[in-house]
Structure 1
Amino acid sequence: MAKKVLIVTGDAVEALEVYYPYYRLLEAGVEAVIASPTKKKLQTVIHDFVGWDTYTESKGYMLESHTSFAEVDPTDYDGLIIPGGRAPEYIRLDSNLQNIVAHFFEAEKPVGAICHAVLVLAALKNKAYFEGTTMTAYTACRPDVEGLGATYAEDTLHVEANLVSGHAWPDLPGFMREFLKLLESSK
C-alpha cells in the first residue's frame, strides 16, 4: 500500500516550500494531501534573499487545498510536512491543526518542518516533544526553537528522531531526501 503524507498550510505559504515537497512526494509514488484552515484556493508567496537585511516577498502561484483541517483524520497519514512562509503564523491558531500535529509526534511518525514551520510547533501545548532535542529553522525563528526547549542547529538541515527540520527553501533537496528516508523506514 502506498504511503500517504499530509501537507498543512494556508495563504502566504512559501511557494517553493509547498510545491517542491508536493511534487516530490507524487514523484516518489506517495499520496500527498494539502490541508488548510478551509478547503480553498490558496495564495502562495515567493521569498527571496536579495539585498535586504531580511527576505523580500512577492505574490506566487495559486494552489488548491484538498481538505480543511477540521476534516483531517491524522491516523490516515504516514507523515506530515509543514512548509514555511507566513502561513504558520496564523494556521497555528487553529485547534484542529494543533491536534493534527500533536498526533504525528505522539505516534512518532515522520515530520518535516522547514523555515517558519517552527511557529506551528511552538503553538503545541505539549513542549515535551522538543525538550532536549536539536532542530533548525529560519534564522529569525531561533528564539522559537529555543522556546520549545530545543537547541538551535546552525546547520541548514537537521534530522533527529522523527523530525527533519530545514532552514529555508534552498535546503529542499536535502530536506526531502531525508524526509523520504524516514517515511520509507516508518511502519
Structure 2
Amino acid sequence: MSKNVLIVTGDAVDCLEIFYPYYRCLEENIPCTIASPTMKKLQTVCHDFLPEMETFTEMKGYKIDSHASVDDINPADFDSLILPGGRAPEYIRMNPKVQEIAAHFLKENKPMGVICHGQLILTTVREHIQGREMTAYNACRPEVEAAGAVYIEDQLHVDGNLVTGHAWPNLPEFMREFFKQLEVKEEANV
C-alpha cells in the first residue's frame, strides 16, 4: 500500500530537516508533498553548532520548491505529516490552515514526525498535545511545557503516533522511527 507524506514548512526551514526527510521518502517510493503558506521556491537555512557560540549559527542554504499552498491541502488525503524545524515554524504556526493540518493528524492519530523547532507548531493546537511526551530543540522547552506537553530530554522520543527529534544530527534515527510508524521497511545500501 502506498503511503502519502505531507511536509509543511516555509522560508527559513532548516535545510537538512527538509531535504533529508524529503529525499528519504522519495528513496522509499513514498509520494511526498511539500506545502507552505504560499506555493513558491523556499529559502532554506543551515543551522550549525560552533564551539565558540552559545547558540546555533545560521547561513543561507539551497532553495527547494514547495508543491502546494497549505490552503489547497486537504489533510485527509495524506497518511502522515512531517514538521521540520529551522525558523519557519515561528511564523507558519500563526497560519490557521497550518494549525488545522496539525490538529487533523493529532486527532486522527496518524503518523507524525516533528523535529527541532517544528514542535512550536504543535503548541498552537495545545488541546491536542496535553500530556503528550515529546522532545524538541532545548530552547523550545518552555513553549512545549506551557502548551501542556511533557518535555523529554532525550534526542529522540516516540509517544504513540508522534515521533519527535531534538535537531538535525538526529535525522537518521528520526527517519527510522518515522518509517516504523508508516510500516516501511528500510534496506541499507552497502
Taking structure 2 as the reference length, the TM-score comes to 0.94
- SS of the residue corresponding to residue 169 of structure 2 reads helix
**SS, match of residue 43 in structure 1:** strand
Cα distance per residue 1:159-183 (max 9 Å; x no partner):
0011000000000000000001001
Q: Which runs of 5+ in 1 are unaligned?
A: none
The residue that corresponds to 1:18 in the other structure is 18
Task: Report the counterpart of residue 132 of structure 1 in structure 2.
Answer: 131
Q: Report whether the alignment pairs 1:35 with 2:43.
A: no
Q: Unpaired segments of 5 or more residues in structure 2?
A: 185-190
2:56 aligned partner: 55
- The residue matched to 2:136 in structure 1 has which SS? coil
Task: State the distance in 2 between where 1:128 and 1:76 align.
Answer: 23
Q: Please give the alpha-carbon distance, in whole angstroms, between the structure 1 residues aligned to 2:146 and 2:136.
A: 13
1: CA distance, partners of 2:129 / 2:117: 16
Contact 2:5/2:32, CA 8 A, preserved across alignment: yes
Specify the alignment match of 1:82 in structure 2.
Answer: 83
CA distance in 2, matches of 1:143, 1:109: 26
Matches within 5 A, 1:102-117: 102-117=103-118
Residue identity opposite 1:151 in structure 2: V
What is residue 165 of structure 2 aligned with on the other side?
A: 166
Q: Secondary structure at the match of 2:118?
A: helix
Match of 1:157?
A: 156
Shift of 1:2: 1.1
Q: In the TM superposition, what is the alpha-carbon distance from 1:131 to its structure 2 partner?
A: 1.8
Give 1:145 deviation, angstroms.
1.2
**Runs of 4+ in structure 1 displaced over 6 angstroms?**
none
**Who is 1:145 aligned against?**
144
**1:79-131 Cα distance to aligned partner (Å, 9 max, x none):** 0000000000000111111111111011100011100011111112xx23222
Query: Alignment length, in residue pairs?
Result: 183
The percent of aligned pairs where both chains have the same amino acid is 59
**1:63-74 alignment to 2 at 5 Å?**
63-74=64-75
Residues in 1 aligned to 2:34 and 2:177: alpha-carbon distance in whole angstroms: 20
For residue 122 of structure 1, give the secondary structure of its aligned residue in structure 2.
helix
C-alpha distance in structure 2 between counterparts of 1:120 and 1:84, whole Å: 10
Contact 2:122/2:129 (<8 A) preserved: no
Q: Output the TM-score relative to the length of structure 1.
A: 0.95
